[in-house]
Structure formats: C-alpha cells, structure tokens
Structure 1
C-alpha cells in the first residue's frame, strides 16, 4: 500500500517533484565540483612539493649558514692555473666543487635524527655546485718601438722606448651545474625519488663509492650525454648509468652521484647538508618537528606544510579560492537547496490538506501520514542526488579535459624556512648565493573520489529527510475536520 500510494503521488506531481530534485541536484553538483577541484589543488601542490622534497619526505633537517662576521666576506670561487711557458696552446681546465646552500652537518646527525621519537626513517644528502672553467692563454708578441722622427736640426731622434707587447690574452668557458650526493643504500627517500629512471638504471646498494652518476634528462640532452658515456668531474671520469626524468618537469639536481663521492669531491668528508625525514605517523609531523628541534640544537626543521606556505602564483590563489570561498559558497547553496526543498514540500502539504484530512478520517494515523510524506521527499532527494552526481561528474570531467594551467611561484633565497627550491638555491630556499625564484606550470585536474560520491549520496538522503521531516510535521498536525471544511 505504501509503495503503491507513493508511486501514484510522485507520478501525479511530477513537476513539483522535478523542481525539488533539481534544487537539490544543483547544490550537490556544486559540492562535488568544489571538492574535486580542491582535491586537484592538493594534488597540484603535492606535485610542486615533490619536486622540492622528494616522494615520501615529510620534513628536512638542515643548518642555516652563519652570517659573515665583521670584516669577513663570503667565500668566492678561486681558480689557480699552472704556468706553461713551453706550450702556450695547451688547454687549461679546472673544476671547483663547493658545498652550496647550508652549513654542513656531521654525518652522525643522520643517525641521531633517526633515533628521535616518531621518526620512521632518515637519510642524509650533500648538495654541491660544480663550476668548470676551461680554455687557454695566448702568448703576446713583443713589437720593437718605432724610431722617433723630427729631432733637433732635422735629424733622426732616438727610439720611443723599449717597445710593447701586442696580441695575446685568454679565452675561457665557464660551466656550472648542480650535483647531489645520494645515499645509494636508502633510495626510497630523498630528492631522486621525485624522478623516474627513463633510461639505464639507478644506483645499486653496493655502489656506495663507485664512480657512477645518474643524470637529469634535460641536462643530459643539453650536454649530449647518454647511458654508457663519461662525465668528468675534477679530472675523475664518472660513468653515466642512468637518465632520470623529473615528474614535475624540473629536477632537483643536474647530476646525482653516490654520497661518498660527493663528499670527496667537495672536501666535505663525513658531512651532509640535508637530512630527509619520514615520520612514522603523518598526523604527528608537527610533534616530530618540535622533538628534533629540541633535541638537536642548531638545526632547522622544514615540513611540507612550511614549503606549501611559500608557494604563490595562480596555484595558491586557486587553492585559497577552492578551500575558502568555494566551500562556503557550496555550503550556502546546499543550505538554500535544503530550505527550498523543505518549503516546497511544506507548500505541497498545504495544497493536500483535504487529501490528508480525508485519509486521517478514514483511519490513517498521523505517523503513517508523516511516513508517506517523508517517503515522497526521500525519493525526490535520491533522484536529486543522482542528478547532482551526474552534473558534478560532468563538471569535473570538463575541468580535467580542458586542463587549465596554474603557475606555482617558488620563492628564492629569501631566508625563511621553506622559502623555495631545495637545490640550487640551497635546501628549502634558505639562501644559496644568487638564488632566484622560479615558476612551475601545473595542469589542473579535478579527480572525483569515492568519498566525494558517498558525500553526495549522504547529502541527497539528508536533503530528502529535511524536506520530508518538515512536510511530514505539517501533515501530522492536520485534523480530519479540515477535510470537511475544504469540501466545496
């Protein structure tokens, strides 16, 4: 009887049911789109942070470079060349490998960090910059001085001096690139994890001191290097064993090599610049950060949240819009849809006074009338939910298909924690000399998760119950006598 009456009433009031369902559908569709865009914002931001941090990294531990004292100057690159008097055509080449970004930490700090409460894993790395100068000197030629003309008495005067050297000089090329010493025994943590090996292979755990390197694909293309070729650093040949392509399109370093080799080249034995940390529980990252800073003095701990605060540009603007204005807008529209559904259901009950009064006169209890009205509203809500999910999925598909491009502006060496690029300008942008900001383009997607679909279904049921509850309450207050007064 319940379902028969329900089906008949919904068919008889199709237009009213469609209006109620459409209002709920619009609110639910907006919630789905906002949630999917917000999720896309988070993915885009995670992609940016992965290019800075590396997959699986929750925080980094570093030590800020001390400012130069009074009368001190920052270290400048210095190249010294041997004099070669017998052969002025010989090419001169020198490499200078310098630790960049931060003050170095003792390698023992890695183990010390790993023992802190809440730390799941810790790996050290050394960021260096290689400056290569090569070229040759050209010896000048001594040219005798010309006789001086027009002396006294019209005669020829003496020479104009001891002559001069003409020609000669020097022509040198300067090449600079970043290199990163990686702990090859722990390759699931650190900057190399944000890249994929697209040619060759990655390091083996036994290659802790091997003369092998992995190159970033962009750098390898620029220098025409491939797997099997040789890269020379400070006159030491390193075999290229793999080419890595960064997931974000911008690699953490140009060259990756075993940590021990990087320490040897930079003269930083048993030193690291960065300790990458993975927490046991991602919900306790702030607590782990405080523990490390408290127990290991002189260190700076930068979390992914710290880095996220420094990301600006259209990505940050869109993220703020999606998480702030978008959520409030969707909530307001959803509340409005619920109210409209409730008012329309209540209005429908007012127009059915004679019907409900007659039913109660025939013996229907108030609870039965309430359940009947609530059932109709619940069906309207479920129909609106299905329509809203379809509209929401269509909106998310359009956003993903047309893929609007957002720009993430990563700050340079501003000195604040998490200020920008972790390599090149020093980890977390803490101020390597000459560091600059950079922009990273990210295509926006709008993924719809099962959680979002579940939320939409819950909202549809809630909307139906709100409307049905309000309308059922009005219906339950009707008295059988009202039906007799409405008979014409």
Structure 2
C-alpha cells in the first residue's frame, strides 16, 4: 500500500519532484567537482614534490652550512691553476673544480644513526656536487721595438723604452654542471627514483666503485651525449650507461655517479650532504621527524609537508581556491539546496491538506502520513543524487579533458631554512636544486573516486531527509477537521 501510493503520488507531481531534485542535484554536482578538483590539486602537488624528493622518500635530513662568523665551515670558493707555457701558444688547458654543493657535509655514520631511529624503515645518503670546468688557451704576445720592422722586432733584441707587446691574451670557457653521488645499493630510495630511464639502464648494486654514470636527458641533449659515450670529471673518465628523464620535467642533477666515486672526486671520503629517509608508517612522519631532530643534533629534517609550503604560483593559488573558496561555496549551495527542498516539500504539504486530512479520517495515523511525506522526499533526494552525480562526473571529465596547465614555483624564499636551500644557493631537498625559484608546469586533472560518489549518495539521502523532516512535521500537525473545513 505504501509503495503503491508513493508511486502514484510521485507520478502525479512530476514537476514538483523535478524542481526539488534539480536543486539538490546542483549542490551535489558542485561538491563532486570541487572534491575532484581538490584531489587533482593534491596529485599535482604530489608530482611536484616527487621532483624534489624522489618516489618513496618521506623526508630528508641535511645540515645547513654555517657562516664563518659562527666558527663553522667557510663556503668553498673555486681556485684554478694552469701550467706556464714558456714556448708556443694555442695549446689548450683545462681544469675541473669539484665542490660540495649547498649543505654542510655529514659523516657516513650519520646515515646509520638516522636509520636506527624509531619509525625509520630505510635511510640512504647522497652527495651533491657542483663541477666548474675551465678550459681554453693562452696566446703568447710579441714584443715590438719602436722603429724596427717586423711583427716581433729584431731577433734577440732586448726590450727597451718605447717598445710594446702586441697580441697575446687568453680565451677560456667556463662550464658548470651538477653531479650527484647516489647510493647504488639502494635503487628504490633517493632522487634518481623520480626519473625514468629512457635509454640504457640504471646502476647495478655491484657498481659501487665502477666508473659509470647516468646522465639527465636535458644535459645529454645539450652536450650531445649518448649511451656508451664517456664523460670526464676531474681527469676521470666515466662511461654513460643510461639516460634519465625526470618525470616532473625538471632534472634533479645533470650527472649521477656512484656515491663512492663522487666522494673521491670531491675529496669528501665518507661524507654525504643529504640523507633520504623512508618511514615505516606515513601516519607517523611527524613523530619520526621529531625523533631524528632530537637524537641527531645539528640536522634539519624536511618533510613533504614542509616542501608543500614552498610551492607557490598558480598551483598554490588554485589549490587555495579549491580548498577554501570552493569548499565554502559548496557548503553554501548545499545548505541553500536543502532549505529550498525543505520549503518546497513543506509548501506541497500545505496544498495537500484536504488529501492528508481525508486519509486521517479514513484511519491513517500521523506517523503513517509523516512516513509517506518523508518517503516522497527521500525519493526526490535520490533522484537529485543521480542527476547530481551525472552532472558532477560531466564537470570533472570536462576539467580533465581540458587539462588546464598550472605553474608551480619551487624553493623561492626557502634559502635560509637550511633544510630547503642552504646558503650559497644550495639544493632544495635534493641535488642540483637551487634556492632561487624554479618553475614547473603541471597539467590539472579531476579524478573522481568511490569516496566522492559515496559522499554524493549520502548528501542525496540527507537532502531528502531534511526536506522530509520539514514536510513531515507539517503533515503531522494536520487534523481531519482541517480537511472537512475545505470540503465545500
């Protein structure tokens, strides 16, 4: 009887049902779109952070370079020396200067100490280097005596007043690139994991002392390097075994070497600049961070949450809008939709006074009448939910199809933190990351998960119940006498 009457009443009041369902649908669709866009923002930011950290890395441990006034290490300055050439000219000379970049070095034993902390699943070290290569040639000048012919004057002539040196000079080129020493025994942790090997292969665990290298694709293209070629760093030749392309589009380092080889080049035996840490439980990252800072003195621990604060640009702005303005807008529209649905249902009840009064006169209880009104309102809500899910999915699909490009600026303003970008333009959470802002472009998507759909269904039912509560309360107050007064 209940469902028969419900079906008949819904068929009779199709227009009213459509109006109530449409109002709820708009609110639910907006919630779906905002939730999916917020999820897309999170994935975009996660992609940006992976370019700083590497897959599977939860935090990094570094030690800021101290200033000389504090009695710490003085930032290393490059010095170059060349052999004097007594005879001849045009002979090319070259020298490399390898510097530890950005952070104060840590002992290898610190890696083990960090790994022993509670909540740490794994910890590996890495060494960030900057190589400055100066190459060129000197050209010897020629002395010319005034009043004597020939470009060099008379053979064996002694310099005298009035003579001058003509020609000569130096022509040198300065080339700078970043090198990162990675622990090849731990291939699943560290910055190289955020890059994809597009040619050749990555390091083998047995190549701790091998003279092999992986080159970033952008650097390889600039220097016209290929797999199988060799690169020379400070007189040591390394064979290129692979070409890596950073997934984020922003390379972490130009050249990757086994950690021991990098330590040898920089005269930094048993030293690292960054320790990459994986936590046993992602929910305990804050407690792990506190434990490391407490037990490993002088270090700075940087988590993905800390790095997220350094991401600015349109990605940050859009994320703020989606989580702030978008959320409040969704709440406002939902509340409005619920109120409108409730008022419309209550208004419909007032127009059905004679109907409900007659039903009560025939023996229907107030609870049965109220249940009838609530049942109709819940159906309206479910109809609105179906329509809202359809509209929300269409909106999310449109955002994904358009894929608007957002910009993320990394590391700006973090130079003094020690953990983000040390003095002198150190790396931001990894090798080759300058403290000055770098810009990445990230395509925005709007994924819709089962949780979002379940939320939409819950809102639809809630909207129906709210509307039913308004109408049911009004219907429960009707008396059979009200219906008899209107029968004339």
Pairing of 1:310-325 with structure 2 (within 5 A): 310-325=310-325
**Secondary structure class of the residue paired with 2:446:** coil
C-alpha separation in 2, matches of 1:184 and 1:73: 30
C-alpha separation in 2, matches of 1:7 and 1:395: 32
**1:194 counterpart = 2:190:** no
C-alpha separation in 1, matches of 2:43 and 2:218: 24
The residue number in structure 1 matching 2:151 is: none
**Secondary structure class of the residue paired with 2:463:** helix
The residue number in structure 2 matching 1:359 is: 359
The residue number in structure 1 matching 2:240 is: 240
Change (3 A) 1:167 1:406: same
Change (3 A) 1:91 1:177: same
The residue number in structure 2 matching 1:203 is: 203
Deviation at 1:75, TM superposition (A): 2.7
**Secondary structure class of the residue paired with 2:481:** helix
The residue number in structure 1 matching 2:79 is: 78
Change (3 A) 1:14 1:470: same
Deviations 1:175-209 (A, max 9, x none): 11111111111111111111111111111111111
Unpaired runs of at least 5, structure 2: 149-158
The residue number in structure 1 matching 2:216 is: 216
C-alpha separation in 1, matches of 2:83 and 2:16: 94
Deviation at 1:369, TM superposition (A): 1.4
C-alpha separation in 2, matches of 1:297 and 1:435: 24
Pairing of 1:281-430 with structure 2 (within 5 A): 281-412=281-412, 414-417=414-417, 425-428=425-428
The residue number in structure 1 matching 2:139 is: 138
The residue number in structure 2 matching 1:150 is: none
**1:89 counterpart = 2:129:** no
**Secondary structure class of the residue paired with 2:401:** helix
Deviations 1:429-488 (A, max 9, x none): 799998422111111111111111111011111111111122122212222222111112
C-alpha separation in 2, matches of 1:434 and 1:214: 21
Deviations 1:145-197 (A, max 9, x none): 327xxxxxxxxxxx971622211111111111111111111111111111111
Assess if the C-alpha contact under 8 Å between 1:214 and 1:256 holds in 2.
Answer: yes
The two structures have a TM-score, normalised by structure 2, of: 0.93
**1:451 counterpart = 2:458:** no
**1:273 counterpart = 2:267:** no
Change (3 A) 1:56 1:434: closer
Change (3 A) 1:414 1:295: same
C-alpha separation in 2, matches of 1:394 and 1:424: 49
Deviation at 1:402, TM superposition (A): 1.3
Paired residues, number: 477
Deviations 1:304-328 (A, max 9, x none): 1111111111111111111111101
Deviations 1:201-225 (A, max 9, x none): 1111111111111111111111111
Assess if the C-alpha contact under 8 Å between 1:101 and 1:433 holds in 2.
Answer: no
Change (3 A) 1:112 1:42: same
C-alpha separation in 1, matches of 2:127 and 2:33: 43
Deviation at 1:255, TM superposition (A): 0.7
C-alpha separation in 2, matches of 1:431 and 1:93: 25
The residue number in structure 1 matching 2:185 is: 185
Unpaired runs of at least 5, structure 1: 148-158
The residue number in structure 2 matching 1:258 is: 258
**1:175 counterpart = 2:181:** no
Deviations 1:20-64 (A, max 9, x none): 001100000110111111111111111111111111111110000
**Secondary structure class of the residue paired with 2:78:** coil
Deviation at 1:262, TM superposition (A): 0.6
The residue number in structure 2 matching 1:477 is: 477
C-alpha separation in 2, matches of 1:228 and 1:430: 27
**Secondary structure class of the residue paired with 2:347:** helix
The residue number in structure 1 matching 2:23 is: 23
Assess if the C-alpha contact under 8 Å between 2:253 and 2:432 holds in 1.
Answer: no
The residue number in structure 2 matching 1:111 is: 112
Assess if the C-alpha contact under 8 Å between 1:220 and 1:243 holds in 2.
Answer: yes
C-alpha separation in 1, matches of 2:470 and 2:433: 67
Deviations 1:42-94 (A, max 9, x none): 11111111111111111110000001228996432111111232443321011
The residue number in structure 2 matching 1:124 is: 125
**Secondary structure class of the residue paired with 1:69:** helix
**1:65 counterpart = 2:70:** no
The residue number in structure 2 matching 1:460 is: 460
Change (3 A) 1:182 1:134: same
The residue number in structure 1 matching 2:103 is: 102
Assess if the C-alpha contact under 8 Å between 2:311 and 2:408 holds in 1.
Answer: yes
Deviations 1:336-371 (A, max 9, x none): 111111111111111111111111111112222122
